[in-house]
């Protein structure tokens, strides 16, 4: 079972859980230090598929419309799938799942994904902060040339990563400026043709 198939199974299972927006546990910044995205806990449930307690969260992009939110979620999932396929040793560090959360009125609410903080239990520490890279030794340098015709620098790689309870997690890809060739390589267009594969729809307010 590849990442996309596993992801679809988890989202199907999650449709029977009740999500509720809770504590804000993360925020990412633009290059000039302004808030770009925020991350809220959505609760947890016993995942029969993963045989563990699975913590969920909502990543919301500020000041963007529904179409942009949907496109961004699709692009990030394509990146995660690409990394999982070609760098399988990094799969345990990637989000257990990643998808698009759609509200009862059909609006794209944001990206639903694993909550690394486990409901705020653990601090999620950014490896990249404005003007400084912390934990340089934890940067996944093997991803430097992960995408065709482009090279990721230290800042790009650091922005992907967090330190949670002493462990590295890789889960933030919205700062990667992919080339068209890279979009083609990661299968972005094919994902766009089948959004139901990675979309969770809810009929209630969170």
Tens of pLDDT, residue by residue, the chain (206 residues): 899 999 999 999 999 999 999 999 988 776 677 777 899 999 999 999 999 999 999 999 887 788 889 999 999 999 999 999 999 999 999 999 999 999 999 999 999 999 999 999 999 999 987 778 888 899 999 999 999 888 899 999 999 999 999 999 999 998 888 889 999 999 999 999 999 999 999 999 98
Distance CA 169, CA 145 (A): 19
Range(s) of the domain holding residue 128: 3-201
Residue 117 domain flag: yes
Rg (CA), the chain: 16
In a domain? residue 195: yes
- Residue among 124, 92, 106 nearest 203 (CA): 106
Q: Is the pTM of this model over 0.85?
A: yes
DSSP single-letter state for residue 19: P
Task: Find out whether 82 and 185 touch, Cβ atoms under 8 Å.
Answer: yes
Total structural domains in the chain? 1
Q: Is residue 206 part of a domain?
A: no
| Site of tokens 């969170």 | 206
């Amino acid at each position: 079972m590849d990442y996309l198939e596993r992801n679809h199974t988890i989202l199907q299972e999650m449709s029977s859980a009740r999500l509720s927006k809770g504590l804000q546990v993360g925020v990412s910044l633009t290059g000039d230090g302004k808030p770009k995205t925020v991350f809220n806990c959505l609760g947890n449930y016993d995942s029969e598929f993963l045989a563990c307690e699975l913590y969920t969260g909502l990543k919301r992009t500020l000041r963007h419309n529904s179409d942009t939110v949907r496109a961004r979620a699709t692009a990030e999932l394509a990146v995660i799938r690409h990394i999982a396929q070609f760098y399988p040793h990094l799969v345990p560090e990637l989000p257990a799942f990643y998808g698009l959360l759609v509200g009862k009125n059909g609006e794209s609410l944001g990206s639903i994904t694993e909550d690394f903080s486990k409901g705020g239990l653990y601090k999620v520490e950014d490896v990249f902060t404005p003007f400084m890279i912390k934990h340089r030794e934890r940067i996944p340098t093997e991803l430097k040339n992960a995408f065709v015709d482009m090279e990721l620098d230290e800042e790009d790689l650091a922005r992907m990563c967090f330190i949670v309870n002493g462990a590295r997690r890789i889960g933030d890809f919205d700062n990667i400026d992919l080339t068209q060739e890279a979009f083609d390589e990661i299968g972005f267009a094919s994902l766009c043709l089948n959004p139901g594969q990675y979309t969770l729809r809810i009929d209630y307010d969170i």
